[in-house]
Amino acid sequence: MSINFGTYSGSLLTPGGTPLTVTCPAGSSYSVGLNAGVGAGATVTTREMTGPGSAALSYQIFQDSARTTNWGNIVGTDTVAGTGDGSAQTIYIYPQAPGGQNVAPGTYNDTITVTVNYTGGTATTTFSVTATVMATCQISAASINFGNYTGSLVKPGGSPLTVTCTNTTSYDLGLSAGLGAGATVTSRKMTGPASAMLDYQMFQDSAQTLNWGNTVGTDTVHGISNGSTQTVYIYPQMAAGQNVAPGTYSDTVIVTVTY
């Protein structure tokens, strides 16, 4: 037998009952205990799967589907008792991995030792516990409003872009050229009345010297996640001296996170 939590993405996992069979002589009382596993610092109430770089993913094992009764290895306290009937009897392990754990992507595993104390002896076996943490990222961007353009240089200040990735995940943030006809990542274009164009740029730095494009390793913004939401800023600029028709100008830029 084994327990596989599947993919852990930060939400609570309760993968259902895992069967464990016990065969004891008829009339023999028995008690089934589960140890803390092999994870560093693990206890029978908080077990630990070990992953990349000794990262730990915590989980619990319960005796009941409601997950209220812990399963440990102290006979008469937190073990499961029964009476043998000479055939295989099935009992169920109910595992749980709590949500909100900020861990690195990779494969996590543990090994649990099962000990059956019964009238006349002791038997042991082991089973594996595994889970996979996938690298994920989510991004969110605010709208940019240049305000009124009167022919002078416009620098409206930094516009926040937030990114939340799995802990230790390396990522790159890219900005597309937008939708304006003939636009590039160095000269983006808002479209206005009668398809008139108003040029603007986007930079990575407040000094507005590093263009922000979408070629990874060339003009994207690189980061390494700590598992929390991180904020970076887009610094837009609209050059002076553009002779355009009055009206409202707009564009849509796609933000891409590569990880």
pTM beyond 0.75: yes
The structure tokens 């164009």 sit at 197
Say which residues have a Cβ less than 8 Å from residue 50's Cβ, sequence separation at least 6. Answer: 38, 39, 40, 56, 108, 109, 110
State pLDDT tens for residues 205-225: 999 999 999 999 999 999 999
Contact 89, 18 (CB under 8 A): no
Query: What is the set of domains in the chain, with CATH numbers?
Result: 2-133 (2.60.40.2040), 137-258 (2.60.40.1090)
pLDDT confidence of residue 23: 95
pLDDT confidence of residue 185: 98
pLDDT confidence of residue 120: 87
Contact 114, 126 (CB under 8 A): yes
Give me the residues of the chain with pLDDT under 50, please.
none
By C-alpha distance, which of 37, 41, 48, 55 is closest to 105? 55
pLDDT confidence of residue 16: 94
SS (H, E, C) 122-145: EEEEEEEEEEEECCCEEEEECCCC
State pLDDT tens for residues 42-93: 999 999 999 999 999 999 999 999 999 999 999 999 999 999 999 999 999 9
pLDDT confidence of residue 235: 98
